[in-house]
Amino acid sequence: MLYPIFSILPAVVCVFWIFLLLVDKQKNRSKKFFILLLIFILVNFIAHAAFFNHKYELYTVLDSIWVFTSLLIFPLYYYYLRILTTDTAIQYKWFWLALPSFLLAIYSAVIYLLMTPAEVESFIQGIMYQKSGYEPYSRLVRLQILREYLFKILFSVQVILSVYFGFRLINKYNKKVKTFYSNLGGKDLTPLKWAVVALLLASLVSVVANSIGNSYFIARPQLIYISFAIYSVCIFFSAYVSYMQRFTIEHFSQNVKEYESSKVFTGKKTVAHYYIPGMDNQKSLRDRLIYLLEKIEIFKNPELKISDVSLLLKTNRTYVSKVVNEELNTNFCDLVNSYRVNYAEELLCSPEQASSLSIAEIAEMSGFSSESSFYRVFKNKKGISPGIYKQHRCNVLAVNG
C-alpha cells in the first residue's frame, strides 16, 4: 500500500507547489520560470513512478522523456538563479543549456523507434530491471546501454557546474546588494544556497540509485521510501524558498534606476540640495560620510540606501562605495549596521533607557526594520542576543548598586 504512495509523492509535491505559485498574486519572472522547472520535475517523477510500479509499456514511452527532463533540471535551475541574480529579462542565448538533454533524448528516442519489440523488452528487462536471460544484446540494445553511460557522465558534469556557477551567482548578487542597501531583509539570496544544497542532495541520491541499479531499490521497498521521501523534502524546500523570495535583480535594477532619475540634471530640487550644517567643514568624502553617520545619524533610517547617501554627499554612489570598501574596509550594509548596533548598545547600557524600552523599541530607534533583523545583526556583531546582553547588563548594574 505504501509503495505506490511513496512512488508518486515527489510528483504530488510538485503539483502542490505549481498550484500555489500559479495562484500567487505576487508572481514575478523568476517564479513563473520556477513553475516551468517544477513542471519538468513533475514529468520526470511521473516517469520514475512508471518505472518503480512496473508499468513497462508506459515506461518505454517515457524513458526518453525521463532522459530529457533529468538532464534539464539542473541547467534550468542554474538559469533560474540567473533570473534572480543577473538577467532582468529572459536571455534566449542561454537556450544552449538544454542542448545536451535534447540531443541525448533524441538519440534515445530514435534508437527506440529502430528497435524491435524483442529488443525493447531485452533492454527494459535485461538492463533497466537487471533481469537475467536476455544476453547477448543486439547492437541497438548496446547503443541504448551507451546512452546510459553518456547520461551518467552528462548528469554528473551538469550537477557540478550548475552548483559551482550557481553559488558564484548568489555570492556576486549578495555582495552587490550589500553595497547598496543597509537593510537586507528579504533581499539577499542566502536561503537559495540551502535550496541548491537540497537539490544537490536529491541528485546524490539519484546518482547512488543509478550506480547501484534501480532494480536493487525495487527489491528493497524501504529504500524506495527513504529515497522518495528525500526527493520530496528537497523539492518541497526548494519550492518553498522560491515561493518566499520576493526580491530579485528586477527590484534592485528598479531601485538603481530610481536613483539615477533622482540625480540633478534639470535644476529639479532633490535631497542633494538640502543644506546639512557642519558637513561643509569636512574636507574628504570619507569624513563627510562619517559626519552623516555620527552627527546626523542617518543610520536611523531603516530603508537607508547608498543612493540616498550619495545624493546627500552630492556625489556618485560609485565613489561612496569605493570609500566604504577601500578606506573603511567594509561594505555599506555592514558599515550602517555597525552604527545601528553601537547605538542600540548605548541604549541597552543606559539604566534609564534599558528599563523603560523594550527590545522592539530599541530596534526601531536604532534603525532596524524589524526585531528579527535586530536580533540577527546584533548577535552577529556581539556574539550574544540583545536580550541576553540587556539582562547581563542589568545584572551588572544591580551588583554595582
Report whether the peptide linkage leading into residue 100 is cis, meaning its omega lies within 30 degrees of zero: no
**Where a domain ends, among 249, 280, 307?**
249
DSSP string over 121-190? HIIIIIIIS--SS-PSPPHHHHHHHHHHHHHHHHHHHHHHHHHHHHHHHHHHHHHHHHTTBS--TTTS-H
Alpha carbons 272 and 263: distance in angstroms, whole number: 8
pLDDT in tens, 174-232: 999 999 998 888 888 988 999 999 999 999 988 887 777 666 777 777 888 888 999 99
Predicted pLDDT at 1? 62
Q: Check which CATH number belongs to the domain holding 25 and give it.
A: 1.20.1070
Residues 280, 244, single domain; the answer is no
pLDDT in tens, 243-299: 999 899 998 998 888 877 765 433 334 444 455 666 665 668 999 999 999 989 999
User: 40 is in which domain, residue-wise?
Assistant: 2-249
pLDDT in tens, 308-359: 998 888 888 889 999 999 999 999 999 999 999 999 988 888 777 767 888 8
Predicted pLDDT at 350? 79
Alpha carbons 117 and 187: distance in angstroms, whole number: 55
Is residue 128 very low, low, confident or very high in pLDDT (cuts 50, 70, 90)? confident
Q: Check which CATH number belongs to the domain holding 276 and give it.
A: 1.10.10.60
Average pLDDT over residues 106-118: 96
Domain count, the chain: 2
Residues 137, 219, single domain; the answer is yes
Residues 196, 62, single domain; the answer is yes
**Where a domain ends, among 230, 249, 268?**
249
Residues 212, 317, single domain; the answer is no
Predicted pLDDT at 273? 46
Look at residue 26 and give its three-state secondary structure.
coil
Residues 307, 164, single domain; the answer is no
Alpha carbons 289 and 339: distance in angstroms, whole number: 12
Is pLDDT of 307 > 60? Answer: yes
Predicted pLDDT at 230? 93
Residues 228, 269, single domain; the answer is no
Predicted pLDDT at 267? 37
Residues 97, 245, single domain; the answer is yes
Report whether the peptide linkage leading into residue 75 is cis, meaning its omega lies within 30 degrees of zero: no
Return the percentage of the chain with pLDDT > 90, whole number.
58
Predicted pLDDT at 278? 60
**Where a domain ends, among 226, 249, 272?**
249
Residues 269, 203, single domain; the answer is no
Average pLDDT over residues 39-45: 97
Predicted pLDDT at 147? 96
DSSP state of 266: S
DSSP string over 60-91? HHHHHHHHHHHTTHHHHHHHHHHHHHT-SS--
Residues 222, 99, single domain; the answer is yes
Q: What's the whole-model pTM score?
A: 0.85
String of b and e for 32-41 (b: at least 16 CB within 10 Å)? Answer: ebbbebbebb
Predicted pLDDT at 261? 74
Predicted pLDDT at 282? 60
Residues 212, 335, single domain; the answer is no
